[in-house]
Structure 1
């Protein structure tokens, strides 16, 4: 029996000694989340009918398209519009000479322009200087109207004319 008491006493003593020798250490954990500037962009082009014989013989065909961006608050978005896939000779990013095309081996073209103002006086080009001024980066979609014009007095064959313009948001 004494042998059993001795073992129990020894176990209790070891447990007590372990408690006396226990120590603690602490460290601070720093957690960080970084939100970077980010934007998305979506576009909706225009679709219209151009009548070179009657209506548009003397009247411009004015239509609208749209560009919408959603940017992280604090971003400084600038939206530019490329020259288009059918740009005319002499076209530049600052003064794009955009054309719609019938496509194919021998395409025919209709000139058109894109503007950032409803009066259609400020060409929307492919440079920061020709981009619309105030774009809000609020984390919500910011829609912008693209004012388009197909000038009067152009002749063309009965066909569908198209162009592809790249819209870019830089932030």
Structure 2
């Protein structure tokens, strides 16, 4: 009777895989895909800050960054609006404090010679997506002008990426 557990164990092992003639397998495949559409996302520094000035007897410069992420190979243009106070004219941007204003402009180059507006093929910045973040610096300038009353002057610019 002491051999009975050994016989049961041998029979179990044979049933679980001891008979290679009964082993078989089937395979199949399936495809995997994703459809990527041309897409872009844009973000900007929350503030282009000209700091604190007394008299506007010399130009005041500052800059801020815009970050664009577009699908690789997508050609796009970045436009900057006239601002909430520019009356739709990008060369007439104004920061307001009540009825008083401070004029300023935005440029796409550090030398502040290329006005940055919103007319494609005229004064926007063009680029091609890389699939990674691309950073563009906005260069601002408050030109020499009569100094209005003391206070905080503000405006809001809309960044538009067209692709």
Whether TM-score is above 0.5 comes out as yes
- 1:102 equivalent to 2:97? Answer yes
Report the equivalent of 1:164.
156
- 1:46 equivalent to 2:75? Answer no
Report the equivalent of 1:62.
61
Give the whole-Å Cα distance in 2 for the aligned partners of 1:122 and 1:78: 15
Structure 1 unaligned residues grouped into runs of 5+: 1-27
Give the whole-Å Cα distance in 1 for the aligned partners of 2:118 and 2:48: 19
Q: After the TM superposition, which residues 89-168 of structure 1 pair with which residues of structure 2 at under 5 Å, given as runs?
A: 92=89, 95-103=90-98, 107-128=99-120, 129-133=122-126, 135-168=127-160
Cα deviation, 1:77-130, whole Å, max 9, x if unaligned, reads 210000100015xx53xx531000014xxx210000000111111110011121
* More strand by percentage: 2
Cα deviation, 1:50-94, whole Å, max 9, x if unaligned, reads 221xxx31x200111111101110111210000100015xx53xx
Is the 8 Å Cα contact of residues 115 and 148 (structure 1) preserved in structure 2?
yes
Is the 8 Å Cα contact of residues 73 and 139 (structure 1) preserved in structure 2?
yes
The alpha-carbon deviation at position 153 of structure 1 amounts to: 3.0
Q: Which runs of 4+ in 1 moved over 4 A?
A: 28-32
Are the structure 2 counterparts of residues 153 and 96 from structure 1 closer, same or farther at C-alpha, using a change threshold of 3 Å?
closer
Give the whole-Å Cα distance in 2 for the aligned partners of 1:159 and 1:40: 35
How big is the alpha-carbon RMSD for the aligned residues of Structure 1 and Structure 2? 2.0
Q: Paired residues, what number?
A: 133
Query: Matched residue of 1:77: which SS?
Result: strand
Give the whole-Å Cα distance in 2 for the aligned partners of 1:154 and 1:49: 16
Structure 2 unaligned residues grouped into runs of 5+: 1-28
